[in-house]
């Protein structure tokens, strides 16, 4: 089998009204209008001479057409290759720019979308779900948490938490760090939330790097969260502050989680070597695709670190891909299922309408995957055509 075409498709859904930052970002007042002005994704569609079509997603946070252009530039490397030569293809793609400093960011996000599309093709060619190719199921169902309770005031927060409980979730995550200096307010909000959901529900907090280099504040928040029985403390510090994470982990009993901003096994290596994390959270559509995520998971396992896939502000394609990885990985902990969009008033059609997810059942916070070949998804072409740009 040979690859005959590679197509990158950028989808953009403008926000009808400007929104405030729904999660912590630095300089939120000035940046929210750029970062959160639209829902966006870049998809990769690869065709073979056997008329098989694979679909992948590249995570894009900004400039989604930049990622699209990178995929287009990589196309000549892919044409004529056998999709099953996945390790060689990955090395070729990585080799194109690695020694020019592009071993993170947009370039690896582009590679990720290609890699996921190739795994989708392999699954379809063998008439098997991708998780089978990844080593098969290590469990029948994947434990799942609702993500995320955002910065929307206490009343909305309580209502959303109740809604997740009513849906059957026994685990959920809340965003903190809107005003890093006013962290006592976060502690109060989380303690109010604890009262709403009760002691048996697994609660995580996600600061999205709010405390930056301020390890002392992060430590104080972490200890308060420990007292509130919070399951994990996610991304308190800047993503590359390995020493800061290692220090925090020694000082706190709460589990420390991070990794959604990191790329490839080489990026994750220092976090493992320094003992900086309890839980690692790569996004496979950012970090290098299935091919690389498997290696990061194996490294995590060697360091006794649990794997909790990030999905975040992706489309449904990345969510589907993460489910396949989750069910296959032996050191998988819990899967992030997106139940809330950036805007409270405008749903993200790329999350909700772009495809059906490969879910056979959801009960008591556990997802059972169906067993359709590949990623088990089909693109809604109406949505693709409606939001396609360029």
At closest approach, how far in Å is the CB of 148 from Mg ion?
8
Q: How many angstroms separate the CA atoms of 300 and 306, rounded?
A: 7
Q: Are 203 and 172 in contact (CB under 8 A)?
A: yes
Mapping DSSP onto H, E and C, the string for 134-168 reads CCCCCCCCEEEEEEEECCCHHHHHHHHHHHHHHHC
Shortest separation between residue 208's beta carbon and Mg ion, angstroms: 6
User: Nearer Cβ to Mg ion, position 267 or 376?
Assistant: 267
Q: Of all helices (H) and strands (E), which one includes residue 360?
A: strand 359-363
Give the pairing type, strands 53-58 and 38-48: antiparallel
Q: How many residues bind Mg ion (CB under 5 A)?
A: 1
CB of residue 204 to Mg ion, shortest distance in Å: 9
Tell the smallest beta-carbon distance from residue 136 to Mg ion (Å).
Answer: 29
Residues with Cβ within 8 Å of residue 172, at least 6 apart in sequence = 145, 146, 147, 148, 149, 161, 164, 197, 201, 202, 203, 204
Nearest residue to 60 (alpha-carbon basis) of 386, 291, 342, 315:
315
* Binding piece for Mg ion, criterion CB under 5 A, among 108-116, 122-130, 187-195, 204-212: 204-212
Helix, strand and coil content of the chain, in percent to the nearest 5, comes to 45, 20, 35
Reduced to 3 states, what is the DSSP secondary structure of residue 71?
Answer: helix
Stretch that binds Mg ion, among 71-79, 199-207, 216-224, 317-325 (CB under 5 A): 199-207
Residue of closest CB approach to Mg ion:
206
CB 323 within 8 A of CB 335: yes
> Please, what is the minimum distance in Å from the beta carbon of residue 313 to Mg ion?
10
Nearer to Mg ion, 112 or 281 (CB): 281
Rg for the chain (alpha carbons), in Å? 20
Q: Does 292 bind Mg ion (CB under 5 A)?
A: no
Of the two residues 115 and 206, which places its CB atom closer to Mg ion in the complex? 206
* Rounded least distance, CB 342 to Mg ion, Å: 13
* Residue span binding Mg ion (CB under 5 A) among the ranges 55-63, 115-123, 201-209, 242-250: 201-209
206 binds Mg ion (CB under 5 A): yes
Q: Write the interaction track for Mg ion spanning residues 48-67; mark x where CB under 5 A is met and - where it is not.
A: --------------------
Return the bridge partners of 336, or none. 145
User: Which residue number, 206 or 278, has a Cβ lying nearer to Mg ion?
Assistant: 206
Q: How far is the CB of 139 from Mg ion (least distance, A)?
A: 23
277 close to 247: Cβ distance less than 8 angstroms = no
Check: CB of residue 211 under 8 Å from CB of residue 177. yes
Identify which of residues 86 and 189 has a Cβ nearer to Mg ion in the complex. Answer: 189
60 or 114, CB closer to Mg ion?
Answer: 60
Burial class (CB in 10 A: 0-12, 13-18, 19+), 97: middle
- The answer to whether residue 336 forms part of the interface with Mg ion (CB under 5 A) is no
Shortest CB 72 distance to Mg ion, Å: 30
CB of residue 206 to Mg ion, shortest distance in Å: 4
Residues 227-256 that bind Mg ion (CB under 5 A): none
Nearest residue (CB) to Mg ion, 118 versus 296: 296
Binding mask 172-191 for Mg ion (x = CB under 5 A): --------------------
Nearer to Mg ion, 109 or 206 (CB): 206
Least gap, CB of 310 to Mg ion (angstroms):
6
Choice between 206 and 292, CB closer to Mg ion: 206
- Using DSSP's 3-state secondary structure scheme, residue 131 falls into helix
CB nearer Mg ion, residue 206 or residue 341:
206
Q: Angle 68-207-215 (CA atoms, 0-180°, nearest 5)?
A: 115
From CA 344, how far away is CA 151, in angstroms rounded? 10
> Could you tell me the two tokens for 22?
């729904």
* Residue among 119, 192, 127, 116 nearest 158 (CA): 192
Interface positions with Mg ion (CB under 5 A): 206
């Amino acid at each position: 089998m040979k690859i005959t075409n590679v197509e990158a498709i950028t989808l953009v859904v403008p926000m009808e009204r400007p929104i405030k930052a729904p999660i912590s970002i630095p300089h939120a007042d000035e940046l929210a209008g750029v970062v959160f002005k639209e829902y966006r994704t870049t998809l990769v569609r690869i065709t073979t001479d056997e008329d098989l079509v694979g679909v992948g997603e590249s995570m894009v946070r900004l400039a989604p057409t930049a990622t699209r252009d990178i995929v287009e530039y990589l196309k000549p490397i892919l044409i004529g290759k056998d999709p099953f030569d996945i390790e060689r293809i990955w090395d070729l793609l990585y080799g194109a720019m690695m020694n020019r400093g592009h071993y993170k960011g947009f370039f690896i996000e582009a590679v990720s979308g290609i890699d996921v599309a190739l795994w989708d093709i392999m699954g379809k060619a063998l008439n098997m779900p991708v998780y089978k190719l990844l080593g098969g199921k290590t469990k029948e169902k994947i434990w799942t948490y609702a993500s995320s309770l955002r910065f929307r005031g206490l009343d909305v927060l309580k209502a959303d938490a109740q809604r997740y409980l009513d849906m059957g979730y026994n685990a959920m995550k809340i965003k903190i760090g809107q005003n890093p200096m006013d962290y006592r307010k976060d502690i109060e909000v989380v303690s109010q939330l604890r009262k709403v959901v009760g002691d048996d529900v697994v609660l995580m907090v996600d600061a999205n790097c709010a405390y930056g280099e301020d390890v002392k504040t992060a430590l104080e928040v972490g200890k308060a969260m420990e007292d509130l029985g919070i399951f994990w403390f996610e991304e308190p510090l800047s993503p590359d502050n390995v020493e800061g994470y290692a220090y925090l982990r020694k000082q706190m009993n709460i589990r420390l989680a991070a990794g959604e901003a990191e790329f490839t096994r080489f990026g994750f290596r220092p976090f493992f070597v320094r003992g900086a994390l309890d839980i690692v959270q790569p996004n496979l559509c950012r970090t290098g695709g299935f091919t690389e995520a498997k290696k990061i998971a194996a490294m995590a396992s060697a360091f006794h670190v649990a794997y909790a896939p990030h999905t975040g502000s992706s489309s449904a394609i990345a969510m589907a891909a993460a489910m396949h990885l989750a069910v296959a990985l032996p050191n998988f902990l819990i899967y992030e299922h997106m139940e809330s969009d950036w805007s409270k008033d405008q749903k993200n059609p790329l999350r909700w309408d772009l495809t059906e997810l490969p879910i056979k059942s959801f009960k008591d916070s556990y997802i059972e995957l169906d067993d359709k070949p590949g990623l088990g998804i089909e693109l809604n072409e109406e949505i693709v055509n409606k939001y396609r740009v360029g």
